[in-house]
Amino acid sequence: MRLVTLDSREVGGRPGICLPSGEILDLSASPSGMTASQWRPQSVVSVLAEGDDGSARVARLLAEVESVPEGQRQEWRRTGRLLPAAGTRLMPPIRRPGLLLMVADRSDGGSLAYVKNPNSAAGPDVTVPLPEGDDRQLFLVGMIGLVLGRPLFRGTESQAARAIAALTLVADLGTRRFSGGPDEGRTDARQFPGACVIGPALVTLDELPAEEAWRVVVRVNGRGTGFATPQLSAALGARTLAALSSRYSFRPGDMVGLATGAGELELPAASEVALALGRTLELRFKTGS
């Protein structure tokens, strides 16, 4: 399933699910007019935290949506329960992660884990303004976000694998290079509003082939970066998460961003950026002066 958070008058947004038709079902509004399910999740995290029970409830709900006559669908479109994918504003799929932990590559071949300010999170199609002052250059590290659906602390690889409920795409931005030079590893330049673009959806692992690598392509102003293909996979994600859990305690809704190995990009002042995980997910945003 593919879960999104709809931009709405509520501070935390409203949970939604992407349908095969290309529309989005507002899960907060969906029980009205339905008989088989009166389930009303408060957020995408509450769906993930229910594990198999949450997936089963979503499956029953989707089956009911598919079975209703077109007249009922038209009514849902009129009242906003069914929304078009194009033009519907989305928040970050998890409005405010409890823990936003990034794992980036260092120039010496090692890695560094650091916490990003949850207030730096932004949703898809955002325009990230260049910060004021001297640091007006933006640098991008493309990442895959592992979203947890259950608590984890000092877990094994198998426990970590079960704790990963979904994936998303993450654009980790900073005003200084993360690797190389005198500022290597400096994270305070990666905390400003909009410095962590996330989305557009959370994709559960059943939508991805279990043994395939998670390959992310980055395009800037329509051109691919040309970096080597990374080798992230479900096995590597579980191994990394298990190692992190020896030092960090995780809860449902926390997110771990793993650098794809494609390096760090210096973005032009005005850029249109797209990160794509195969044909499964595509995250778009812009930078502006």
Is 90 a domain residue?
no
- Co-location of 157 and 269 in the same domain: yes
What's the pLDDT at 36? 44
Q: Write the DSSP assignment of 90-143 as a string of letters.
A: B--SSSS-S-EEEEEE-TTS-EEEEEPPGGGEE-TT-EEEPPSSS---EEEEEE
Domain end: 56, 84, 112, which one? 84
- Give CA–CA dist 9/29, Å, rounded: 14
Is 89 a domain residue?
no
CATH at 202: 3.90.850.10
The 10s digit of each residue's pLDDT in 217-231 is: 899 998 887 555 567
- Co-location of 140 and 45 in the same domain: no
DSSP, collapsed to helix, strand or coil, labels residue 200 as strand
59: left (phi over 0), alpha (psi -120 to 50) or beta: alpha
What's the pLDDT at 140? 93
Angle at 199 between CA 196 and CA 200, to 5 degrees: 145
Q: What is the DSSP letter of 236?
A: H
For residue 127, name the pLDDT band (cuts at 50, 70, 90): very high
Is 10 a domain residue?
yes
DSSP, collapsed to helix, strand or coil, labels residue 194 as coil
**Residue 134 in this model has a pLDDT that exceeds 60:** no
Mean pLDDT of 143-170: 97
Domain count, the chain: 2
Mean pLDDT of 52-79: 87
Return mean pLDDT, the chain: 87
Shortest CA distance to 240 belongs to which of 112, 72, 66? 112
What's the pLDDT at 105? 79
Give the pTM.
0.91
Q: Which domain holds residue 64?
A: 2-84
- Co-location of 215 and 267 in the same domain: yes
Is 63 a domain residue?
yes
Is 25 a domain residue?
yes
Q: What percent of the chain has pLDDT over 90?
A: 51
Domain end: 31, 60, 84, which one? 84
**Residue 8 in this model has a pLDDT that exceeds 90:** no
The 10s digit of each residue's pLDDT in 16-61 is: 999 988 899 998 875 555 554 567 788 899 999 998 888 888 888 8
- Co-location of 264 and 238 in the same domain: yes
- Co-location of 17 and 144 in the same domain: no
Is 91 a domain residue?
no
Is 136 a domain residue?
yes
Instruction: Choose between 130 and 15: higher pLDDT.
Output: 15
- Co-location of 42 and 150 in the same domain: no
The 10s digit of each residue's pLDDT in 223-281 is: 887 555 567 889 999 999 999 999 999 999 999 999 987 778 889 888 999 999 988 99
**Residue 10 in this model has a pLDDT that exceeds 90:** no
Q: Which amino acid is at 153?
A: F
What's the pLDDT at 65? 85
**In the block, residue with structure tokens 């501070």:** 11
Domain end: 84, 111, 143, which one? 84
